[in-house]
Chain A
Amino acid sequence: MSTQPQSSLRSVSGAARTKAIAFRIAMLLCLMASALVLGLLIFDVLGDGLPKLNSALVSNFPSSQSARAGLQPALFGTIWIIGVCLVFIVPVGVATAVYLEEYADSSKWWNRLIEVNIQNLAAIPSIVYGILGLAFLVRGPVSLGRVVLAGGLTLGLLVLPVVIISGREAIRAVPPSIREGSMALGATQWQTIWKQVLPASIPGVATGVILALSRAIGETAPLIVVGAATFITFNPGGLVGDSAGFSALPIQIYSWISQPQDEFKQLAAAGIVLLLGVLVIMNGAAIYLRNRYENKW
């Protein structure tokens, strides 16, 4: 039997309350710090780039005269590279994730080694991937030259770990009861994965792919190393070959910013706004997919 009177429930002490409030404010400040920086950046580039943010920006080719300069080849180059990247990372990334989640016996050392390596690959600086692309794809054994395919594959290698890790999470989120239900009907493991597990994990996989691509789209360093052109007067005309030279949005922005004239700096700002716009759309699509198609188990 309880002997404690009800009034003995202690009220929160003043010191504890102050601490809680102080902690809240500290967290809010941390949030403000990142939001503020982004806000300032957008405000700044919008102020600089607005005069140049028009249809001429995307319809013109680079030029030494700022009035006629545009970034169409860079925009097309980015689209080509991201396309190659997508075609490469989806099958390879998803297959790897399926293997690691559904087939690999994690008590075997080689599977654990693969897992640790994938985690590590995600943390390797992008310039290292650029050097790998240069030595292995552009020159060396594959010798593609400085072409769209080499650029896309290099970026694909760079973001592959992101796709694998998010793909594994999406596959792991499919409850075991779905697999059991499928197997109990006499479906094979492959049928279960292909017709139940993968369809159920599509939203998660797609979110990971989009986030990976939006990282790839902003990468500059590896593209410089694999030979993206800073001044180019034609759109990419294929994956490999003489017409497959390419530029990319961040490369174009980088090259304009290093020009001394103010007009080029405005062009660069307009390019940044365009790039940010593309990123917002991609991330928005990822969030939409996640919320719209996420399975409530």
Chain B
Amino acid sequence: MVTFDDDMEPDPVSDQTNVHSIDPETPAPPRRPGRAAVSVSAGLSGTANPLSTKPVFSIEELGVRYGGKPAVQDVSFDLHEHEITAFIGPSGCGKSTILRCLNRMNDLVSGAQVEGTIRYHGQDLYAPKVDAVEVRKRIGMVFQKPNPFPKSIYDNIAFGPKVLGMKGDMDEIVEDALRRAVLWDEVKDRLKSNAFGMSGGQQQRLCIARCLAVNPDVILMDEPCSALDPISTGKIEDLMTELKSQYSIVIVTHNMQQAARISDRTAFFIVDLMAGENSRIGRLVEYDATDKIFTVPSDQRTEDYVTGKVG
């Protein structure tokens, strides 16, 4: 039962369940009271960007276990090219775990086991002959806490291209990466100073620049703004919107306004406590265009979550 104040007339949009057939001509869904910021930007993104249909990742029946205990089960969905996909859901629902499967960072966690298949441009990411190092060259990652290397700003950017043996003028590569991360003007006069002297927001943009310097295809972001103030957050969000034309971006966020502002599609996960004692299993509840998730979700649990009734 939906419990909004306004009338609940049947909405043509809510009948569409296939994400691939979203029509850009569909009128923006009626606005609802409560989360003004959410519905305004969701309405904008819904009409401005026709959603792409070319998948980057095809996830089928994904499951992750830590030390034999299941953490995520039965997750199947496609992530699309040149889009920002947001993962939302309560703590412990496996958002970050799934994100870390996409560039095989879970390989570094002892006891982590991945089941099911993830196809990256059609290739099985977990096929025996696939080198995890090769995967991470293509699929970059930005972490929750800014983690610059204890080196100069310049060396932070140059590290990736150097270890990957990239050819070209290193100064140009560094400048280009910093420009793309909209950080160049702030740091061009102190490239040789230690990265720890930067503000938290600058450090996080440096980490994004570092990731861009190796020319990835996909950028995974694990709550990149959770340690930042609203101004830095705004800068990173603008940056992501700008980068979308060249990269596919996946972001885990606890900030629903953020998901609504910047993402094209949103996946909502929950913790399934029903599975048994002492077990918390993350499951995918709903995956759809962001404006739909935030206005006319098809699942009651999604609606309760995005309207702030639970979680």
Which residue numbers of A lie inside 8 Å of B, CB to CB? 105, 175, 177-188, 191, 195-196, 199-200, 295-297
Contact = CB atoms under 8 A, between A and B. Distances in A.
Interface of B: 103, 105, 108, 110, 133-134, 136-138, 140-141, 143, 145, 147-151, 159-160, 163-164, 196, 207, 210-211, 214
18 contacts: A179-B108, A180-B141, A181-B143, A181-B148, A182-B149, A183-B136, A184-B105, A184-B136, A184-B211, A185-B137, A185-B160, A185-B164, A185-B214, A186-B138, A187-B164, A195-B163, A199-B150, A297-B150
B149 A184 contact: no
Nearest to B110: A105
A196 B147 CA distance: 12
Contacts of B137: 185-186
A183 B207 CA distance: 13
Nearest to A191: B163
A199 B151 CA distance: 10
Contacts of B196: 296
B108 A180 contact: yes
Nearest to A200: B150
Nearest to A295: B150
Contacts of A183: 105, 108, 133, 136
A188 B133 contact: yes
Contacts of A196: 149, 159
A185 B136 contact: yes
Nearest to A107: B110
Contacts of A180: 105, 108, 141, 143, 147
Given A179-B108, A185-B210, A191-B163, 7 more contacts: A181-B148, A181-B149, A185-B163, A185-B214, A186-B133, A187-B159, A200-B149
Contact of B147 (A177, A187, A195, A199): A177
A100 to B, nearest CB: 15
A184 B140 contact: yes
A185 B140 contact: yes
Contacts of A191: 163
B147 A186 contact: no
B163 A186 contact: yes
A140 B207 CA distance: 57
Given A187-B160, A296-B196, A178 B149 contact: yes
